[in-house]
Amino acid sequence: MERAETPATIVVVEDEADMARVLQFNLQSLGHRVLLAPTATEALRLVAAAVPDLVLLDLRLPDGFGMDLLRDFRAAPRTAALPVIVVSALGDEPTVVQALECGADDVVSKPFRTRELLARVATALRRHAAPAETGIAAAPLAFGPLRMAPETREVSAAGEPVELTRTEFDLLAFFVTHPERVFTRRQLCEQALGSGGAILERTIDAHVRTLRRKLGPAGQCLVTVWGVGYRLVDSP
């Protein structure tokens, strides 16, 4: 793969030394700065010192469970929107869904193909770039009880503020700007999240479930079109 146009700082949270070195080598070959964290404690220290551009997170750590670390990131205002890709041998569907519902932007199962992982990293970095770089409209968005401010990435439902990850925000913004239209999971992956197929289509289901939960009653406007996909309607 070509070197990244904009090098990023990436924290790799991985306790297996060989795996950590493989990830470090491949990411550095693209021009990225890589910081290694073999424990959850070290990961928290690194992120507290300076919020990175992205975190690659293993779930099995010697001093804790990666899912708890992910929750800590999402609960803190400084890291609520921090891109996190879970890279774990725990690749069963319940674990994948749980990771996504906890706020992971993507999940990669071990063993993985290096080029695929690097493509997902590039996708996450591109999607989570500053609005000025991605061309996200700065004008406020509104549909029904939903209000969105792309410039500040603030969301409210029926007047109540809602905390969303960047992936969740991008997905909801796509629905709000294309109301009443039905989209397949593949279309949402490619058009809403710009994944180019890197993000598994099944992750869309988990993100939609999380959006419904976070939006409360307004989440009922995100309806399932059985056998096709999803759409945002004015009244369910």
- 66 CB neighbour count, 10 Å cutoff: 26
- The strand pairing partners of 154, in sequence order, are 149
Cα-Cα-Cα-Cα torsion 30, 35, 37, 40, nearest 10 degrees, comes to: -100
What is the pLDDT, as a whole number, of residue 1? 65
List Cβ neighbours of 212 (8 Å cut-off, separation of 6 or more).
Answer: 219, 220, 222
Nearest to residue 14, comparing CAs of 49, 62, 71, 52? Answer: 62
pLDDT digits (tens), the chain, 236 positions? 677 778 999 999 999 999 999 999 999 999 999 999 999 999 999 999 999 999 999 999 999 999 999 999 988 988 988 999 999 888 777 888 888 888 888 888 888 889 989 988 998 888 777 554 444 556 789 999 999 998 888 999 999 999 888 888 889 999 999 999 999 988 888 887 776 554 566 788 888 999 999 999 999 999 999 989 999 998 76
Q: Would you tell me how many other CB atoms lie within 10 Å of the CB of residue 2?
A: 7
pLDDT computed for residue 206 by the predictor: 85
How many CB atoms are located within 10 Å of the residue 103 CB? 26
**Domains of the chain, CATH where assigned:** 9-129 (3.40.50.2300), 133-232 (1.10.10.10)
Q: Are the C-beta atoms of 58 and 66 separated by less than 8 Å?
A: yes
